[in-house]
Amino acid sequence: MSILLNNQFDQNSGWQAALSKELPELNIACYPDVSDAAAIHYGVVWGHPFGDLKRYPNLRAIFSLGAGMEHLLNDPELPEVPLISLGDPAMSQDMANYALYWVIDFHRHMQHYRAEQMRQQWNRLETPPTNDFNVLVLGLGRIGQHVAELIQQAGFNVTGWDFKSKTAAALSTVSGNDALSELLPSTNVVISCLALNERSHQLINADFLAQLPMGSHVVNISRGGVIDEDALLDALDSDRLNGAALDVFSIEPLPSEHRLWTHSKVNVTPHMAGPTHISSAASVIAENIRRMERSEQPEPIFDRSRGVQAAAMQDKNT
């Protein structure tokens, strides 16, 4: 029994060493050096070539080496086996910390003070009480819930939203587009933790942004396609938005000529909000493989119906 390993955008050697340490009884076959396709029971991949995974007749499951699943879902010949996304608590914590950082930055007007420092000016702005600063988290999957809970623990007024009704302990949650229309006019910061699919594609568009109060903010740690970037720039130019923190973009890397790079209200980071840590991720993947070998369910199994339905929605080069 073997594991197929392939990370298109990273060296396989680190992953191979970590997985071998966790599962010394299993052979790790690094793509494309696979001597026995029938021996492959588990695929552990990111950016794997379309059509290759169907070559392994005894494949039992495919593990993603990241939180995103588009790199698998757009393979037209993807085998009908469970898809397991990377439910690494370390990644969730990093993403929640990133989101909290920007909520605090926006709440305390830090961008204003950075500019004032350059001009050697001493001007304080009024800061609302923490519990009067309203944060709306879009998407209540594993990561979205962690993000919302951490920000709420910091004292902010947090509401979690999703397309369908979901519950989370000690967190106020709502669902559906009608609820969005009620929430947006009083929202100070919107944070996207949504998977990219037909429903979420450019959900944050001109109409969505027009419902926010003047001086509000947007944080995106999910997928670039969730935001209409032209509408976002218009909202920034009109002062509807006072700032945006963007870790993901419709095209990645962000083209050098894109205006988001140079806009004074935009903070750009290179898709680093939730980095994959090999040691912790390998431990999570190994435990799921051990669970399957005991005839137990791995987790989290990805719901294919949530996947991207059109290639045009896929974030490029992510």
The active-site residue, picked from 48, 71, 142, 271, is 271
Question: Based on the number of CB atoms within 10 Å of its own CB, is 188 exposed (0-12), middle (13-18) or buried (19 or more)?
Answer: buried
Q: Where are the beta strands (DSSP E) in 8-71?
A: 27-30, 40-46, 61-64
H-assigned helices in 154-225: 177-183, 206-210
271: annotated active-site residue: yes
Token couple for 241: 């938005």
Other C-beta atoms closer than 10 Å to the C-beta of 127 total 11
Please say whether the beta carbons of 53 and 75 come within 8 A. Answer: yes
Please say whether the beta carbons of 137 and 179 come within 8 A. Answer: no
The active-site residue, picked from 71, 107, 223, 240, is 223
259: annotated active-site residue: no
Distance CA 268, CA 250 (A): 13
Closest of 201, 173, 180 to residue 307, by C-alpha: 201
Distance CA 161, CA 114 (A): 32
The residues annotated as belonging to the active site are 223, 271
